[in-house]
Amino acid sequence: MSEEAKKEEKSLNFIEEIIEKDLRSGKYESIVTRFPPEPNGYLHIGHASSICLNFGLTRKFPGYTNLRFDDTNPTTEETEYVDSIKEDIQWLGFKWENERYASDYFPRLYEFALQLIKKGLAYVDDSTSEEMAALKGTPTEPGRDSPFRNRTVEENLALFAQMKNGEFPDGSRTLRAKIDMGHINMLMRDPVLYRIKHAHHHRTGNEWCIYPMYDFAHGQSDAIEEVTHSICTMEFVPHRELYDWLIAQLGIYPSHQYEFARRNTNYTVTSKRKLLQLVTEKHVSGWDDPRMPTISGMRRRGYTPESIRDFCDRIGVAKRDNLVDIGLLEFSVREHLNKIAHRRMVVFDPVKLIITNYQEPESGKEFLPAENNPEDGNAGERDIPFGREILIERDDFMENPPKKYFRLAPGQMVRLKSAYIIRCEEVIKDSAGQITELHCSYIPESKSGHDTSGIKTKGTLHWVHAGDAIEVEVREYDRLFRVEDPTDEEGDFKEYLNPDSLNIVKGYAEPSLKTAGINDSFQFLRKGYYKLDRDSTVERLVFNRTVTLKDSWARENKQP
């Protein structure tokens, strides 16, 4: 079955079903969605899910998607975040039709407010936030009317103009919708529409000192852009009533809001506040620390856009609470990297191995061709140096091996990947009993690709030529938290940070890695997938471990 046919066969999620129905019924000929980040932090894996949903919808159905920054709170928003958000979306592989800002609409929004005031549906309230909270009631008790609720339209118009003109200090007054203080939905109890903030805005500068609240900006921006399907997360369900009320009273384009459950992944946090805290308190090196669930962190770690999109696709969209196993993301990235990553050999914890019967050619060593990727016939080969002295992994040798040990042991044979079959003849130790050298013999007829020896080995080891190995730094990452859901635990979430989330080790790499590029991902044979880090210099290469290879041998041996 073709990729295409497979996709078509896959059942629609509930939002796609709604759209499919709307299109079929003729309600719309094409759709408009939007991705509406607030530029007050970096995008994370949860946003990736939303991006894939919103942009994916208009890939699947006719229409387009806008990028709209929800920048109505000047005190927390910055241009730095705008730039990173745009970069992340593009890196993920999506293109927006229009780049918009809620702040583009401040003049329109102000007009909308005037319109409501004139209809007697909004009023200026002089209450302090404490007073307002006291009159708000609780989920089980109704609220009470503000003493300023019955001002005349003229008075409200005049006061609102003064608010706009900067005649009042921050927090002294608000514009509120006049709905129903006894409403069962607390958001309908005269919600605040505008507040006074004498703050510098990243785009409008000091032009405004009143700013609209989310509820008076989001739906209105949707309407202005004629967004057909405004998709957000479940916590906005109660806002929908207000969303619809405002659109109806304003008589503007009837955008509709649909909600899905935000995606959570285990062993991490995705609240912007918590992520910011990890950054500012230096628990991580920055927003793009490879342990962070941010898109920039995942990019630096070596996750590919394809693998993140695939992950988002696999976890789907629904309305129930969820905690997705991060192992699924790891599966997606292994699957993609297995197809594209070139193979290299790197020894982490070396022990010297001397091939006693090997006659080195005059040049001192022999070059052996090795395939770059067995999964990709077009990936070509590279030549790797082989000689009398090589390095292998210390744990690829055991003096007294258990029954199913396929690696090197006294008297046993293994193949050296892309080279020869060797047999261990002698173990050399220092006075402390530590193994310092392994003396082996090799089978000349067993040369990789020209093997006439007829010998079958169970194990194949990776290795590097001792004289040509280059020292590299490898940063091994583990989950950032020790528990699946840090926010669900007692006390501060930071108490549950995994102290071993970063482990820096030395590696001895085959020389071809010298030419590695900053965006190259490699599979270090029998180890995992690694990507060159931007901290690399000419003298010292630094690799980030994206993810390990599956290791059923290690797993089996962990069982007590």
- Answer yes or no: 197 catalytic: no
Ranges within 87-116 binding RNA (CB under 7 A)? none
- Secondary structure class of 57 (helix, strand, coil): helix
Radius of gyration of the chain (CA): 31
Taking the complex as a whole, the smallest distance from the CB of residue 366 to RNA amounts, in Å, to 14
Ranges within 202-261 binding RNA (CB under 7 A)? 211, 213-214, 217-218, 234-239, 261
CA distance 505 to 503: 6
CA distance 14 to 108: 33
Q: Return the closest-CA partner of residue 464 out of 312, 353, 362.
A: 353
Which one of the listed residues 108, 262, 423, 494 is annotated catalytic? 262
Which one of the listed residues 272, 344, 388, 447 is annotated catalytic? 272
- Answer yes or no: 262 catalytic: yes
CA distance 455 to 244: 76
Q: No. of H helices and E strands in the chain? A: 14, 25
454 lines the binding site for RNA (CB under 7 A) = no
C-beta closer to RNA: residue 289 or 419: 419
C-beta closer to RNA: residue 16 or 535: 16
CA distance 150 to 109: 23
Taking the complex as a whole, the smallest distance from the CB of residue 254 to RNA amounts, in Å, to 20
Interacting stretch for RNA, rule CB under 7 A, among 44-52, 72-80, 81-89, 282-290? 72-80
145 lines the binding site for RNA (CB under 7 A) = no
198 lines the binding site for RNA (CB under 7 A) = no
Among 1, 8, 24, 320, binds RNA (CB under 7 A): 320
Taking the complex as a whole, the smallest distance from the CB of residue 501 to RNA amounts, in Å, to 20
Task: Look at the chain and count its residues.
Answer: 560
Among 30, 79, 90, 128, binds RNA (CB under 7 A): 128
Taking the complex as a whole, the smallest distance from the CB of residue 103 to RNA amounts, in Å, to 11
C-beta closer to RNA: residue 125 or 468: 125
CA distance 307 to 97: 24
What strands, in cross-sheet order, belong to the sheet with 528-532?
342-344, 521-524, 528-532, 541-548, 470-477, 502-509, 346-347
Among 153, 158, 161, 184, binds RNA (CB under 7 A): 184
Among 361, 377, 449, 517, binds RNA (CB under 7 A): 449
C-beta closer to RNA: residue 89 or 289: 89
455 lines the binding site for RNA (CB under 7 A) = no
C-beta closer to RNA: residue 55 or 236: 236
C-beta closer to RNA: residue 76 or 249: 76
Taking the complex as a whole, the smallest distance from the CB of residue 255 to RNA amounts, in Å, to 16
7 lines the binding site for RNA (CB under 7 A) = no
CA distance 124 to 193: 10
Taking the complex as a whole, the smallest distance from the CB of residue 140 to RNA amounts, in Å, to 5
C-beta closer to RNA: residue 198 or 540: 198
CA distance 421 to 419: 7
CA distance 356 to 441: 6
549 lines the binding site for RNA (CB under 7 A) = yes
Largest CA distance in the chain: 102
Ranges within 470-499 binding RNA (CB under 7 A)? none
Q: Return the closest-CA partner of residue 482 out of 269, 263, 262.
A: 269
Which one of the listed residues 38, 306, 371, 425 is annotated catalytic? 38
Q: Is the CA virtual torsion 50, 54, 60, 65 positive or negative?
A: negative
Q: Return the closest-CA partner of residue 186 out of 219, 243, 141, 231.
A: 141
- Answer yes or no: 484 catalytic: no
Whether the Cβ atoms of residue 100 and residue 148 lie closer than 8 Å to each other: no
C-beta closer to RNA: residue 158 or 184: 184
60 lines the binding site for RNA (CB under 7 A) = no
Report the catalytic residues.
Answer: 38, 262, 272
